[in-house]
Amino acid sequence: MKRITDILCVFRIHLARLRREAGPFVLAALIFPTAMYLFAVAVSGAEEISDEKRLRFLAGSIVFSLSMTSISWLGYLLLENRFTGRLKLFATLPLAPSSYIFGVIIFALAQAALGTTTLLIVARALGVRANVSIASLSLVVLLTMLCLCGLSVSIAARARSFSEGSLLTDSLGAGLVFLAPVYYSAQAMPAALSSVSKWLPTSFAASGVQTALTGNFQAGTELLALALMTLMTLSLGFRLMRWREE
Amino acid sequence: MTTSANKSIRAQSQTSAPDVAEENVVRVRGLVKRYRDGTAANRGIDLNVRRGEVVSILGPNGAGKTTFLRQLTTELKPTSGSVEIFGVNAVAEPESAKRMMGITPQEGGVFETLTVLEHFELFARFKGLRRREARLAAFDVADELGLGAEINKRVGHLSGGQRRRILIGLALLGRPPLLILDEPTTGLDPASRQTVWKVIRHVVAEGSTVIFSTHYMEEAERLSDRIGIIESGRLAAFDTLDKLFARLERSYRVEFSDPFDPLVEKSVRYFATFAEAQEHTASEQLSEYSIARASLEDIYFALTGERFVKAEEGEGA
Ligand SMILES: Nc1ncnc2c1ncn2[C@@H]1O[C@H](COP(=O)(O)OP(=O)(O)OP(=O)(O)O)[C@@H](O)[C@H]1O
Ligand SMILES: [Mg+2]
């Protein structure tokens, strides 16, 4: 019970931040991904763009939004907590580091739900015809978020300085998306890059989201791979996050 | 030239509290902290604090006060040695130990987008208070620290001293039996400082124990039952004010200036008795001088060897 209260309090502290300073979230999770969608449609060249392509771009933008929310924005908040001494306040409390992690993950998940829903509504207004499988989409979004949050927790726990950490989270947040074949097909990639890109969590995420947007449920290896990566990054995050300094 | 009082301190590097009788709520043994870069910040500190005591920790910048306190609060892992808080091994069970402590770090950041009320309320919840109790505690603490008028203001809009009081307030929530405050009053105006003193006296009257560090001698003198002085990572002294004074062989202080050059820094000499001090002022035909009992500051400088006075040794060295 105490643990749930702790997690919810961590969540509420961060939610207050979002309520009072929503700008960065709106920009990173909504405006950029929408702009990227429009951009991808515009440069795709074809006169009459196929529904399949539109769905791929939409899936790309959703993954972009998730990545910005979980790595760039959340990573920034976690680094700020650490390097402005706020984490020291948590360290003074009988609060488990894992409760802190769960609290910020719930915060990130809430934003992911908000961001994804908004993007779907915007896409519909832009004429994208998706037949969304809510269960399937939720599962992929959940796994993607957990996996990427694990990365930002690890970076924020280990970065030696604010600038080192934010450089890492910024480049990862954008890089993971642009290295994955989300706005273009895998075939269009140079061979060397595509062998790397195949293994990125964002590639699995994009493919999972795209399947969910066509109303299908993607089981099989891709989701399993995403789940395995989630397990890895999260356990790393939980391991590295400690109140006590050596 | 070095301080003259320095040499008049009786050879006595450690003192104090026998391990018996009173209940020790804090027990520290052989505490050593060596940072990764090799800095030996604490070099074997032993100390007991009894229930209901107020203990202040003094020492120059970089002496190791924060390092010491952060090991008590479990934020920093000791290189060796043991820390017990109310019988709990704080090194092995940090969370249980923290349940009994209210902590104000020397430098802590606040959550700027929360209001004062929200900040106190949420942190009270972390300390296990129920919703209603947390709200009441939040109002109480804000009132106690003179933040009542700011209760609905965002913490980010508060002044530096007001934020400092938020950090003290967070430690007070839930009335923990042990408070550990690292320089709680640094940056506070005189009135706020007195408010904090009042709060400390109040929690002690209610049965809490307080350990705090400070650079203000007056604060240590007024508040503490015992004073610890850390110098270069060692506890150079730990005793009551009276016993610390008793260590000074020459506890009368004559401060005088050069009548021909009043801009030159004042000189200080120490004497065993008032009569000796007077005799000196007469024999030297001093025209501007003051004679006073040595203060905690004199003891502090003597122990930490920090003051380099211009005068040579007093009589009867
Ligand atoms: N993380 C760290 N890594 C390496 N050395 C450190 C670290 N933190 C503190 N030190 C060193 O340990 C020594 C003691 O520092 P500490 O912060 O305990 O001093 P302090 O007595 O609290 O000083 P102040 O009065 O300035 O607060 C100093 O020499 C400091 O440089
Ligand atoms: Mg300090």
pLDDT digits (tens, 9 = 90+) for A8-61: 999 999 999 999 889 988 998 999 999 999 998 888 876 677 888 889 899 999
Q: How far apart are CA A244 and CA A227, in angstroms?
A: 30
Contact B107 A95 (CB under 8 A): no
Name the residue among B98, B110, B170 with its Cβ closest to that of A94.
B98
pLDDT digits (tens, 9 = 90+) for B254-294: 988 876 776 777 888 888 888 999 998 888 888 888 898 87
Q: Probe ligand 1: pick from B45, B56, B67, B107, max atoms within 8 Å of CB? A: B67
| Domain segments of chain A as ranges | 2-240
pLDDT digits (tens, 9 = 90+) for A67-92: 999 999 999 999 999 999 999 999 99
- Listed residue (B83, B44, B5, B9) closest to B232, CA to CA: B44
Name the residue among A21, A84, A91 with its Cβ closest to that of B75.
A91
Contact B77 A243 (CB under 8 A): no
Q: Which residue of B has its CA nearest to A97?
A: B95
Contact A95 B109 (CB under 8 A): no
Mean pLDDT of B203-217: 96
Span from the CA of B19 to the centroid of ligand 2 (angstroms)? 28
pLDDT digits (tens, 9 = 90+) for B221-238: 999 999 999 999 999 999
Contact A9 B103 (CB under 8 A): no
Contact A244 B74 (CB under 8 A): yes
Mean pLDDT of chain A: 91
Which chain B residues contact residue A243 at CB under 8 A? 74-75, 94
If residue B82 lies in a helix (H) or strand (E), which one and from where to where? strand B80-85
Q: H-type helices in chain B, by residue range?
A: 4-7, 65-72, 94-98, 116-126, 131-144, 160-172, 190-205, 217-223, 241-246, 274-283, 296-304
So what's the pLDDT on residue A171? 92
So what's the pLDDT on residue B312? 38
Instruction: For CA atoms A54, A58, A64, A65, give the dihedral sign.
Output: positive
End-to-end, the C-alpha distance of chain A in Å comes to: 30
Span from the CA of B70 to the centroid of ligand 2 (angstroms)? 9
Q: Which residue of B has its CA nearest to A243?
A: B75
So what's the pLDDT on residue A183? 82
Which chain A residues contact residue B108 at CB under 8 A? 85-86, 88-89, 92
So what's the pLDDT on residue A119? 95
Contact A244 B75 (CB under 8 A): yes
Span from the CA of B56 to the centroid of ligand 2 (angstroms)? 13
pLDDT digits (tens, 9 = 90+) for B35-75: 999 999 999 999 999 999 999 999 999 999 999 999 999 99
Mean pLDDT of B241-260: 82
pLDDT digits (tens, 9 = 90+) for A109-153: 999 999 999 999 999 998 888 888 899 999 999 999 999 999 999
Q: Which residue of B has its CA nearest to A19?
A: B113
Contact B114 A88 (CB under 8 A): no
So what's the pLDDT on residue B287? 80
So what's the pLDDT on residue A219? 65
Check whether B17 has a pLDDT greater than 80: no
Please give the angle made by the CA atoms of A117, A118 and A122, to the nearest 5 degrees: 120
Q: Are strands B54-58 and B209-213 parallel, antiparallel or unpaired?
A: parallel
Mean pLDDT of chain B: 87
Check whether B316 has a pLDDT greater than 70: no
Q: CA of B186, closest CA in chain A: separation in Å? A: 17
So what's the pLDDT on residue B266? 80
Are A139 and A222 in contact by the 8 Å Cβ rule? The answer is no
Pocket of ligand 1 (CB under 6 A): B 35, 37, 39, 41, 59, 61-67, 106
Q: How many CB pairs under 8 A join A and B?
A: 84
Q: How far apart are CA A132 and CA A142, in angstroms?
A: 16
Name the residue among A5, A12, A85 with its Cβ closest to that of B109.
A85
Span from the CA of B234 to the centroid of ligand 1 (angstroms)? 13
Check whether B153 has a pLDDT greater than 50: yes
Which chain A residues contact residue B176 at CB under 8 A? none
ipTM of the complex: 0.90
Q: How far apart are CA A164 and CA B179, in angstroms?
A: 35
pLDDT digits (tens, 9 = 90+) for A174-201: 899 888 888 877 777 888 888 888 889 9
So what's the pLDDT on residue A216? 78
Span from the CA of B242 to the centroid of ligand 1 (angstroms)? 29
